[in-house]
Structure 1
Amino acid sequence: IKPLHAESYYNLGVVYGKLGMYQKAIEACKQAIRIKPDYAQAHDNLGCSYQSLGMFRDAINAHKQAIRIKPDYARAYLNLGSAYGELGMHQEAIDAFKQAIRIEPDFAEVHYNLGYAYLITHNRGLALKEYGILKELDRDLAERLFTLIYR
């Protein structure tokens, strides 16, 4: 790895994360951020690694930093919403998912997560609305949400 190449450390962090080596992923992402503090993807991946270790507050902070750097970063909003959901902060999760959809309306994974969040908060009607949208975007995710709605 080139010592001052942030993207290399970021990519290493992604690989470590895929291998389930989350502590090493955190270290690699932090190194990328030290080199390039405004590297939104590195902050977001750092948050994902924290989430994988159950460190949801740290994850939220990392995802928020990614969003501060890159306000139109839909995936960071998705990941932020997921971290909020893990802490039972369902309204915050819903708000983050809605923001992701404002940025990227056809982001199927976000519609699925939003539908699931609506189910958790006992809003079946809105969950069904997300199912309807998902049918056009990703039939597999739509069927998964449908199963949850009618289980």
Structure 2
Amino acid sequence: MAGAIVLIAALFVATLNNEALYAVLGQVWRQAFFGVGLSPRDSAAMVSQVSGQVTNTARDAPAVLIYGALYVGTCLALLWLVLPAASQRRLALTFYGGATLLFVVLLGAGQLGSSVLLQLSSQLIHFIVSPLPVIGLVPLLRWYLPHKQPF
């Protein structure tokens, strides 16, 4: 129970301070590039256009990817703690995997020139990297697949 409370607090803080986290993560990846002798400006110019289309704000795509991976990882860890049955956990992973795959397909198709698909991919990633899937999945999976055994 304490672990779930800590993860909920972490999601809450990350959601309220996401701009500051993007700035910190952007600085971290730039320093990592400098550390291995690469120029992050070249890659930033290439990926900021895609990042701007997805996030509606020009941000460093590596920072967005790192933030998204950490946020979704925290959501999955929380789901792991509050969903006791393996079948519930599999469905949660399938949901996140399917949503991520759909995002990649929409983004790729949108890059071919469809602003509607880019907008859909943007809305989908904003949904994935939010607490809404957890808020919906926990009661839905506990109701749909009540656990009979702890694991």
Q: TM-score range by the shorter chain?
A: under 0.3
Could you state the TM-score of these two structures normalised by the residue count of structure 2?
0.24
Could you state the TM-score of these two structures normalised by the residue count of structure 1?
0.24
Tell me: higher relative CO, structure 1 or 2? Use CA pairs within 8 A at least 6 residues apart.
2
Work out which of the two has the higher radius of gyration on C-alpha atoms and give 1 or 2.
2
